[in-house]
């Protein structure tokens, strides 16, 4: 074991065993979970030692290993959809904007982190999952609940931690993957991992994607008439391409110190096809993002210290977008619209034992956020936070209290949380419970965006949420079962209201209650089979006093079920899965609904020569071409892709 | 050919001539013909509200263009006088001598051979371009007009023998104009205050989207994002005569043949039927399909209603007397990306629809199919 990591792993020994068990309990693949973290993977200073959230070790979490989808064409959103508590909001087919909802929270209320660094959209709000490169990820950790104390303001529904690919082993390694499929969809990705000294390692990865997007779909033109015929249309201006890269390197710089660097960049363009009823064939979007982070980690006696700095920049340019839909790019009344956002942060984190039953850690973070755009102007705000958390072991009980103070511009808030785990018997069962309170500061877009009928409101206050949850996990080598329930209450929600005579404007007037049940099962079956199940029940209720009170919140599916069975042997692999989403309301009055959807996917692959695998991946086997997303954008019917991949 | 066949053919020809169908499609005049303020930047017709008079369909033309994500007024407001059978469009300039007298015309009403148009100006309530204007279709010109008091953005027109009532898009209130003298009446000054409109107790920023006269009473909608109220008033004095809750964000209403009032509720995707009496009562009559969206207009013809759904590009015919209650009995699509805004029923089975996004007029058959 390299000496740096011998030091850095020291905190693991102090971590309460209950927390370690919990961290791996919900890993979909128990066998891999037991492997622990690969040695060369950059870690947060205080870690639990197994896949799972390191910052919220007792949170209800799910780990999605990206590796198991290598033979499939999967976006980040599709991988997240395999977890309970997740709802993905897509605007059309592949490559189109996609946002995330955790436990019924809005996209702005769910944080997405890449290697621990928070990502954000150009307006400072929701992250577009379609811009994230799936092939550059090692795994995705979904932690659910109000986790502001652990991750900072904004984590009201939960957090998705994207863990980038890592070097594997101590020799030069490579991996490549090519795919081609329906609707002119192609992909290529590759990575090279190389050691350059005894303990220094790096990985460089690239992903290229392109889709023609011209898929057929069926639509009724007179939906009020029973049995009205469906007409076939072809989606136009839904093409997209994207290039992404990742560079990650880690090297010791002293006996007990390591430095690691991370760069991730992405650039892409896509058509903005608009809803099927009002298409926008001339609207386009270009976006780019870059993130650079550097971290130095070391130890001082039993304590571990990490200093990290990072910055990111997001740019977006809209072309051919007009108040009436689309327009001819380059004409006088059709100016291009620009928006950018950037963040700079510095973070100091330290942790150490407090007696032999506690591990105390603290974090101080500061920086600035900036947003600039034709329709927002230039705005900056300072960001500061300080947090303290403790891991306390009291026999069979482990406690995880945490508190964090966040200052975001003029908004300030305290986010306390506590979680506990209990391993009451000498059985593979664990009980857990948690509670948290936090807030979300308004985004730059909500505060300042003036665009057509959208009016800004610089007087907005933060949204607030609190939640409690509890769960039980049964875990053996062959079977992991977990069940959890939660209740969340939101108030001061930012809601866009009609602002007569001709605008809508955001106000802090909403409130909601969301109750949920989350079930997950992972079973290792004979003959190399693995079965997975994820189920979410959600009851989201508008509690804003008035006419909306008691109605369901729109766009929250009351039931969602994901089932997958996969087989992997030495030369063959296959999978079949189903993703069922119950009908959900499309408006706030329970008078318009998105129909229930059932997606069946399947794939088969074989190692045809040496390390070369060829896979066939089929989606939407029922060829349902009437599927729509939440905004009534059509979704593709049956599609087929061929994937060739090799790991050297 | 036997005699029966000859008679049948003659009969068919006669009927066909007598019921000549309206033009399928009529393009509204391009922006260059709408006197753009900047000749290099013409707008488009962008039709909104309609009224029928003398065999023609009159439509307000907002004459707008897009500048990026903003809608800009490109020129004066116009009325288009459409002959749906001949396919011709007469333009009536509402702009006055300086072409700024009326901008962004909205609701138009026909009464006693005249047309009355509410103009919103730039929606601020403080600049020229807002007011109500009387148009003589015979001369194709504005005959009288009045700038509305400062702070008011007219949003609807209801015409009685003595007064012309206007709703307010900013504040939930009504103002009136003496029809004889064309001078401000209610809302003119502190001594003649505007008439407050009862509004929902929930939702922010209530406003009046539409007003009208039904059975001699004045009715006004008050809307918020999440609720709506239909208020009844004395049409001469403005005295309140009750109100009733309707659906969320109602947009327009129409008097039905059986004496009720049909209200379309845009946000809720529903149709409410209000029964006038000593008290107003309302019942949910219909919830539209989930694929139907952004209900904008409702017109009545006896027991038949005609509705427009802008978001789904559809128009519907609803039979109020259908077994089991009000039912959509016919529907037509106005074209992808058309954004229909208003319609006029020419007979029970034929409507003329104005499309905002495509700045055109189409006719559709709505023969009962279910």
Cis before A501 (ω within 30): yes
For A375, the closest chain B residue by CA position comes to B69
Q: What is the pLDDT of residue B79?
A: 98
Q: A542, A553 in Cβ contact below 8 A? A: yes
pLDDT in the model for residue A242: 97
For A108-137, how does the pLDDT look when each residue is reduced to its tens digit (9 = 90+)?
A: 999 999 999 999 877 777 899 999 989 889
User: Would an 8 Å CB–CB cutoff place B180 in contact with chain A?
Assistant: no
Asked if residue A62 has pLDDT above 70, the reply is yes
Q: Whose CA is closest to B105, among B76, B141, B134?
A: B76
User: Residue B153: its chain A contacts at CB < 8 A?
Assistant: 501
Token pair recorded at residue B326: 């009000």
For residues B237 and B234, give the distance between their C-alpha atoms in angstroms, rounded to a whole number. Answer: 6
A10 pLDDT band (50/70/90 cuts)? very low
Distance, in angstroms, between A275 CA and closest chain B CA?
9
Beta partners for residue A439, in sequence order: A464
- Judge contact between B76 and B102, C-beta under 8 A: yes
Provide the pairing of β-strand B327-333 with B340-347.
unpaired
DSSP state of B147: P
Model pLDDT for residues A590-647, shown as the tens digit of each residue: 999 999 999 999 999 999 999 999 999 999 999 999 999 888 899 999 999 999 999 8
pLDDT band at A52 (very low <50, low <70, confident <90, very high): low
Give the C-alpha separation, A111 to A144, whole Å: 10
**Cα angle, residue B322 at apex, residues B319 and B326 outer, rounded to 5°:** 60
Cβ <8 Å between A323 and B227:
no
Share of chain A above pLDDT 70, in %: 92
A446-493 pLDDT per residue, tens: 999 887 788 899 999 999 999 999 999 999 989 999 999 999 999 999
Dist CA A518 CA A191 (whole Å): 35
CA distance B48 to A297: 65
Contact B314 A588 (CB under 8 A): no
Answer whether residue A69 shows pLDDT above 80.
Answer: yes
Find the CB nearest A593 among B70, B203, B290: B290
Q: Does B316 touch chain A (CB under 8 A)?
A: yes
CA A448 to chain centroid, in Å, comes to 26
Q: A187: which 2 tokens?
A: 């992909």
Q: Which of B72, B288, B290 to mutate to test the interface with A (most CBs of A within 10 A)?
A: B290
- Angstrom CA distances, A577 to A61, A130, A139, A159, B75, stand at 21, 22, 19, 25, 58
pLDDT at A521 over 80: yes
Measured between beta carbons, which residues in chain B are less than 8 angstroms from residue A330?
none
Contact of A279 with chain B, judged by CB distance below 8 Å, is answered with yes
- Per-residue pLDDT, B15: 42
Among the partner-chain residues A497, A502, A587, the one whose CB lies closest to the CB of B269 is: A587
Neighbouring CB atoms inside 10 A of B16's CB total 10
Determine which helix (DSSP H) or strand (DSSP E) holds A7, and give its type and residue range.
helix A3-8
Residue B331 has its nearest CB partner, among A225, A279, A323, at A225
Please check whether residue A529 is in contact with residue A565, taking contact to mean a CB–CB distance below 8 angstroms.
Answer: yes
Confidence of residue B19 (pLDDT cuts 50, 70, 90): low
Q: Which of A233, A261, A262, A270 is nearest to A245 (CA)?
A: A262
- Set of chain A residues whose Cβ sits within 8 Å of the Cβ of B330: 225
Determine the pLDDT at residue A430.
92
HSE-up of A92 (CA within 13 Å, CB side)?
A: 27
Three-state SS for A185-240 is EEEEEEEEEEECCCCCEEEEEEEEEEECCCCEEEEECCCCCCCCCEEEEECCCCCE
Helix (H, G, I), strand (E, B) or coil at B316: strand
From its phi and psi, is residue A141 left (phi > 0), alpha (psi between -120 and 50) or beta?
Answer: beta
Q: Measuring CA to CA, which residue among A561, A625, A609, A556 is closest to residue A586? A: A556
* Minimum Cα–Cα distance from A337: chain B residue: B68
Cβ distance of B291 and A632 shorter than 8 Å: yes
Show which of residues 467-486 on chain A sit within 8 Å of chain B, judged by CB atoms: none
The CA distance from A183 to A264, in Å, is 28
Distance from the Cα of A276 to chain B's closest Cα (Å) equals 8
ipTM for the predicted complex comes to: 0.91
Asked if A500 and B170 come within 8 Å (Cβ–Cβ), the reply is yes
A11 lies in which domain range?
Answer: 3-284+293-647
Query: Which region among A109-123, A148-162, B246-260 has the lowest average model confidence (pLDDT)?
Result: A109-123
B331/A96 Cα distance (integer angstroms): 32
Residues of B in contact with A324 (CB under 8 A): 66, 71, 357
Q: Comparing C-alpha atoms, which of A199, A209, A215 is closest to residue A254?
A: A199
Give the max Cα distance, chain A.
76
State how far the Cα of A579 lies from the Cα of A89, in Å rounded to an integer: 14
Q: Is A320 left (phi over 0), alpha (psi -120 to 50) or beta?
A: left
Q: Do B313 and A592 touch (CB under 8 A)?
A: no
Main-chain dihedrals φ then ψ at residue A503, nearest 5 degrees? -155, 165
How far B113 CA lies from chain A's nearest CA (Å)?
30
All residues of chain A having their beta carbon less than 8 Å from the beta carbon of residue B123 are 501-502
Residue B336 sits at the chain A interface (C-beta within 8 Å)? yes
Tell me the shortest Cα–Cα distance from B299 to chain A, in angstroms.
18
Give how far B54 is from chain A: nearest CA, Å. Answer: 32
For residues A180 and A527, which has the higher predicted lDDT (pLDDT)?
Answer: A180
Picking from A318, A387, A321, A395, the residue whose alpha carbon sits closest to that of residue A356 is A395
Q: Which of A512, A547, A585, A632 to mutate to test the interface with B (most CBs of B within 10 A)?
A: A547
Contact check, Cβ <8 Å, A224/B316: yes
A197 touches B at CB < 8 Å: no
Model confidence over B116-160: pLDDT tens digits?
999 999 998 888 999 999 999 999 999 999 999 889 999 999 999
Determine the Cα–Cα distance for residues A265 and A437; give it in Å rounded to an integer: 34
**The two three-digit tokens of residue A180, written as one number:** 């081609």
Tens digit of pLDDT for each residue in B262-293? 999 999 999 999 999 999 999 999 999 999 99
The pTM assigned to this predicted structure is: 0.89
Strand order in the sheet with B25-27: B25-27, B360-365, B350-355, B340-347
Query: Could you tell me if A634 and A217 are in contact, meaning their C-beta atoms sit under 8 angstroms apart?
Result: yes
A546 DSSP 8-state letter: S
Rounded CA separation B78/B80 (Å): 6
Residue located via tokens 């599927």: A627
Q: Find the length of chain A.
A: 648
How far apart are the CA of A244 and the nearest CA of chain B, in angstroms?
30
B173-189 burial code (b ≥16 CB/10 A, e <16):
bbbbbebeeeebbbbbe
Give the three-class secondary structure for A413.
Answer: strand
Contacts of B289 in chain A (CB under 8 A): 223-224
Partners of A632 on chain B (C-beta within 8 Å) are 291, 293
Residue A423 contacts residue A21 (beta carbons within 8 Å): yes
A229 touches chain B (CB under 8 A): no
Q: Is residue A169's pLDDT more than 80? A: no
Q: Rounded to whole angstroms, how far apart are CA atoms A273 and B201?
A: 39
pLDDT for the residue numbered A30: 28
Question: Residue A267, class by beta-carbon neighbours within 10 Å (0-12 exposed, 13-18 middle, 19+ buried)?
Answer: middle
Selected residues 281-300 of chain B with any CB under 8 Å from a CB in chain A: 287-293
Q: Are strands A110-114 and A158-164 parallel, antiparallel or unpaired?
A: parallel
B97's CB contacts (< 8 A; 6+ apart) are none
C-beta atoms of B337 and A325 within 8 A? yes
Domain count of chain A?
A: 1
- Compute CA distances B172 → A92, A151, A397, B154, whole Å: 39, 45, 60, 11
Residue B17 scores a pLDDT above 80: no
The answer for residues whose C-beta is within 8 angstroms of residue B1's C-beta and 6 or more apart is none
Q: Is there a contact between B333 and A322 if contact means CB atoms under 8 Å apart?
A: no
Task: Report whether A40 contacts A171 (CB < 8 A).
Answer: no
Residue-averaged pLDDT of chain A:
88
Cβ distance of B68 and A337 shorter than 8 Å? yes
Give how far Cα A535 sits from Cα of A181, A552, A565, A623, B126, Å: 30, 19, 15, 24, 56
Give the pair of three-digit tokens for residue B49. 């509200």
Q: Is-contact B240 B224, C-beta < 8 A? A: no
The whole-angstrom distance between residue A292's C-alpha and the CA centroid of its chain comes to 19
Number of Cα atoms under 13 Å in the Cβ half of residue A265:
9
Q: Does B269 touch chain A (CB under 8 A)?
A: yes
Q: For residue A322, what are the CA distances in angstroms to A450, A456, B45, B321?
A: 14, 19, 16, 43
Q: Which helix (H) or strand (E) holds A3?
A: helix A3-8
Question: Which of the four pLDDT bands, split at 50, 70 and 90, describes residue A16?
Answer: very low
Contact indicator for A398, A425 with CB cutoff of 8 Å = no
Which residues in chain A touch residue B249, judged by CB atoms under 8 angstroms apart? 498
By Cβ distance, the residue of B170, B226, B336 closest to A277 is B336
pLDDT digits (tens, 9 = 90+) for B296-334: 999 999 999 999 999 999 999 999 999 999 999 999 999
B332 touches chain A (CB under 8 A): yes
Closest CA to A28 of A72, A54, A61, A59: A61
Q: What are phi and psi for residue B28, nearest 5 degrees?
A: -80, 155
CATH code, domain carrying A202: 2.40.170.20
B-facing residues of A in 5-64 (CB < 8 A) are none
Please give the full DSSP string across B269-315, using - where no structure is assigned.
TEEEEEE-SSS-EEEEEEE--TT---EEEEEEETTEEEEEETTTTEE
């Amino acid at each position: 074991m390299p000496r740096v990591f011998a030091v850095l792993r020291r905190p693991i020994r102090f971590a309460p065993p209950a927390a370690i068990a919990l961290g791996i309990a919900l890993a979909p693949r128990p066998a891999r979970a037991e492997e622990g973290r690969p040695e060369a993977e950059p870690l947060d200073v205080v870690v639990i030692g197994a896949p799972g959230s390191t910052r919220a070790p007792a949170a209800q979490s799910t780990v999605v290993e990206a590796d198991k989808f290598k033979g499939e064409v999967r976006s980040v959103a599709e991988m997240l959809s395999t977890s309970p508590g997740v709802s993905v909001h897509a605007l059309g087919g592949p490559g189109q904007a996609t946002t995330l909802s955790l436990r019924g929270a809005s996209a702005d209320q769910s944080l997405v982190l890449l290697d621990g660094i928070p990502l954000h959209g150009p307006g400072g709000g929701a992250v577009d999952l379609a811009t994230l490169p799936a092939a550059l990820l090692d795994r995705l950790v979904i932690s659910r609940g109000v986790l502001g104390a652990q991750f900072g303001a904004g984590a009201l529904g939960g957090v998705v931690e994207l863990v980038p690919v890592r070097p594997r082993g101590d020799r030069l390694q490579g991996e490549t993957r090519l795919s081609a499929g329906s609707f002119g969809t192609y992909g290529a990705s590759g990575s090279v991992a190389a050691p350059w000294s005894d303990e220094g390692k790096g990985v460089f990865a690239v992903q290229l994607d392109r889709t023609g997007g011209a898929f057929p779909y069926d639509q009724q033109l007179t939906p009020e008439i029973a049995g009205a015929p469906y007409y076939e249309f072809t989606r136009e201006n839904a093409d997209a391409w994207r290039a992404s890269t990742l560079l990650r390197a880690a090297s010791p710089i002293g006996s007990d110190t390591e430095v690691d660097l991370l760069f991730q960049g992405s650039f892409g363009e896509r058509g903005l096809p608009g809803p099927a009823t009002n298409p926008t064939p001339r609207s386009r979007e270009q976006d780019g993002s870059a993130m650079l982070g550097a971290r130095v980690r070391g130890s001082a006696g039993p304590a571990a210290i990490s200093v990290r700095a990072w910055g990111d920049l997001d740019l977006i340019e809209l072309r051919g977008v007009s108040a009436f839909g689309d327009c001819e790019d380059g004409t006088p009344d059709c100016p291009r619209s620009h928006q950018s956002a950037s963040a700079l942060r510095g973070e100091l984190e330290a942790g150490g034992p407090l007696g032999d039953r506690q591990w105390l850690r603290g974090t101080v973070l500061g920086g600035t956020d900036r947003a600039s755009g034709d329709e927002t102007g230039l705005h900056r705000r300072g960001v500061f936070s300080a947090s303290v958390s403790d891991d306390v072991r009291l026999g069979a009980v482990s406690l995880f209290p945490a508190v964090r103070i966040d200052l975001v511009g003029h908004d300030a808030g305290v986010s306390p949380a506590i979680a506990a785990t209990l391993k009451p018997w000498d059985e593979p069962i664990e009980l857990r419970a948690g509670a948290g309170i936090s807030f979300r500061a308004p985004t730059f877009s909500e505060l300042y965006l003036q665009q057509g009928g959208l009016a800004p409101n610089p007087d907005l206050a933060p949204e607030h949420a609190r939640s409690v949850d509890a769960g039980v996990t049964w875990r053996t080598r062959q079977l992991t079962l977990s069940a959890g329930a939660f209740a969340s209450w939101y108030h001061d929600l930012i809601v866009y209201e009609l602002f007569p005579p001709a605008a809508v404007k955001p106000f802090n007037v909403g409130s909601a209650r969301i109750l949920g049940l989350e079930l997950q099962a992972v079973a290792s079956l004979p003959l190399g089979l693995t079965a997975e199940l994820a189920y979410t029940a959600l009851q989201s209720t508008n509690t804003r006093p008035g006419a909306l009170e008691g109605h369901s919140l729109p766009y929250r599916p009351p039931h969602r079920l994901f089932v997958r069975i996969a087989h992997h042997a030495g030369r063959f692999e296959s999978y079949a899965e189903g993703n069922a989403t119950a009908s959900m309301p499309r408006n706030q009055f329970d008078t318009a609904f998105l129909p229930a959807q059932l997606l069946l996917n399947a794939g088969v692959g074989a190692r045809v020569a040496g390390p070369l695998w060829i896979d066939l991946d089929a989606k939407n086997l029922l060829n349902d071409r009437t599927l729509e997303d939440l905004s009534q954008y059509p979704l593709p019917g049956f599609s087929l892709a061929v994937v060739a991949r090799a790991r050297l | 050919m036997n005699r029966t066949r000859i008679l049948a053919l003659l009969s068919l020809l006669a009927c066909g001539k007598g019921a000549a169908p309206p033009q399928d499609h009529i393009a509204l005049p391009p922006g260059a013909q709408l006197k753009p303020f900047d000749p290099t930047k013409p707008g488009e017709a962008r039709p909104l509200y309609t009224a029928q008079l003398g065999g023609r369909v009159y439509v307000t033309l907002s004459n707008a263009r897009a500048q990026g994500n903003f809608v800009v007024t490109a020129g004066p407001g116009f009325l288009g006088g459409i002959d749906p059978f001949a396919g011709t469009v007469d333009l009536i300039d509402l702009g006055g001598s300086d072409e700024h007298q009326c901008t962004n015309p909205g609701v138009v009403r026909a009464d006693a051979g005249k047309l009355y148009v509410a103009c919103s100006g730039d929606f601020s309530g403080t600049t020229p371009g807002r007011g109500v204007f009387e148009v003589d279709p015979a001369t194709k010109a504005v005959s009288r007009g009045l700038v509305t008091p400062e702070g008011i953005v007219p949003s609807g027109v209801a015409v009685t023998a003595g007064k012309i009532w206007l709703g307010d898009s900013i504040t939930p209130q009504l103002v009136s104009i003496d029809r004889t003298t064309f001078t401000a009446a209610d809302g003119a000054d502190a001594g003649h205050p505007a008439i407050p409109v009862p509004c929902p107790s929930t939702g922010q920023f209530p406003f009046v989207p539409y007003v009208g006269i039904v059975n001699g009473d004045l009715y006004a909608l008050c809307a918020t994002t999440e609720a709506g109220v239909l208020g009844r008033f004395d049409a001469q004095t403005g005295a309140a005569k009750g109100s009733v809750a309707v659906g969320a964000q109602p947009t327009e209403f129409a008097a039905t043949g059986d004496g009720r009032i049909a209200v379309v509720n845009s946000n809720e995707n529903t149709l409410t039927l209000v029964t006038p009496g000593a008290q107003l009562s309302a019942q949910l009559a219909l919830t539209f399909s989930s694929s139907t969206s952004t209900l904008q207009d409702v017109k009545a013809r006896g027991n038949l209603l005609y509705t427009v759904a802008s978001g789904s590009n559809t128009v519907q015919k609803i039979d109020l007397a259908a077994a089991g209650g009000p039912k959509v009995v016919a529907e037509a699509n106005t074209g992808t990306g058309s954004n229909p805004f208003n319609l006029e029923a020419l007979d029970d089975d034929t409507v003329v629809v104005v499309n905002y996004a495509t700045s055109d007029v189409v006719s559709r058959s709505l023969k009962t199919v279910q």
